[in-house]
Structure 1
Amino acid sequence: MPTPLTIRAAQAADLPALVNIDPIARGALGRRQALNHAIAAHSCWLAEAEEVLGYGILDRSFFQQRFIPLLMVAEAARNHGVASALMLALEAQCADDKLFTSANESNAPMRRLLHKLSYRESGRIDNLDDGDPELVFMKRAALRAG
């Protein structure tokens, strides 16, 4: 029988496992530092089943609104419900009426996930990544409860 998926707050000792599943963190000190900061701020949750399969961060970095700036799932664990489970767990941590997140226009898998989870497109930011606008999404508490 497969090991059930568990979502829990990340601890400092989890940092190497988070870096291991995140190709950007493996090569960028700034991403590792941001992960370390999110863990210390109790803003990072991870999904595991025998090993770490993904993580997500929930903070107030978007105009002091609740925001999910990063969701990462290990490549081998994609399309197995890990991202959905993480998003739902992050939603459960949010008591505010509005929850925001974003995805590059080119990130079709994330955009499909957000549509499936009833997030509504809320805006567009050009020039963060040349030629690939950042799309902002929002979900209200009433939709998260139901």
Structure 2
Amino acid sequence: MKTVVEASNDDLEKLVQIDSKVIGNTSRRNYIERSIEFGKCIVAKENDVIVGFLIYEVNFFECAFISLIIVSPSSRRRGYASLLMDYMVSSSPTTKVFSSTNRSNINMQKVFEINGFIQSGVVENLDEGDPEIIYFKSKIELLN
């Protein structure tokens, strides 16, 4: 059974392990730990096994911003990113939710589009030669 819950300190090692499988190192350990401590990290589980997580902020022009979505490579293409995004938008502390991905990340662009996010702008010069595409979704759309 697929579930989404708020991450706890007990989840830290598993989240760092999943992140390391994706990026090849544990450089985001402190970031993940702080996000858990501040209650800004949610996890996707399959039968109580963590398969992915999402970290968000609420300081993007006073709106929620999904800063990181990571799904274990062995669990991709099974709807976990969508599950995390749906949960985040429906429980968002703000009515507007933003996120972003590089122009080169076609797979993540498709995930945003499938989940009803729309392009909201482009930021140049973050990654040389690979602009960041900003995406937006309104929580109000879910309420109507």
TM superposition score normalised by structure 2:
0.91
> What does 1:120-135 correspond to in 2, within 5 Å?
120-135=118-133
Shift of 1:69: 0.5
Residue of 5, 9, 12 corresponding to 1:8 = 5
Shift of 1:127: 1.1
Please tell me whether residue 20 in structure 1 is matched to residue 31 in structure 2: no
- Residue of structure 2 in register with 1:60 after alignment: 58
Q: Give identity over the alignment, percent.
A: 31
Name the aligned partner's letter for residue 15 of structure 1. Answer: L
Shift of 1:145: 3.3
Residue of 18, 35, 41 corresponding to 1:44 = 41
Residues 122-144 of structure 1 show CA distances to partners (whole Å, capped at 9, x for unaligned) of 11111111111110011112323
- Residue of structure 1 in register with 2:70 after alignment: 72
- Residue of structure 2 in register with 1:144 after alignment: 142
Distance 2:12 2:44 in 1: 13
SS in 1 for 2:104: coil
CA contact (8 A) 2:90 2:139 kept: no
CA contact (8 A) 2:19 2:26 kept: no
Distance 2:29 2:116 in 1: 31
Q: Which runs of 5+ in 1 are unaligned?
A: none
SS in 2 for 1:115: helix
Please tell me whether residue 96 in structure 1 is matched to residue 97 in structure 2: no
Residues 106-129 of structure 1 show CA distances to partners (whole Å, capped at 9, x for unaligned) of 111111111111111111111111
Shift of 1:26: 5.9
CA contact (8 A) 2:45 2:52 kept: yes
TM superposition score normalised by structure 1:
0.90
What is the number of equivalent residue pairs in this alignment? 142
Which stretch shows the higher mean deviation, 37-46 or 86-95? 86-95
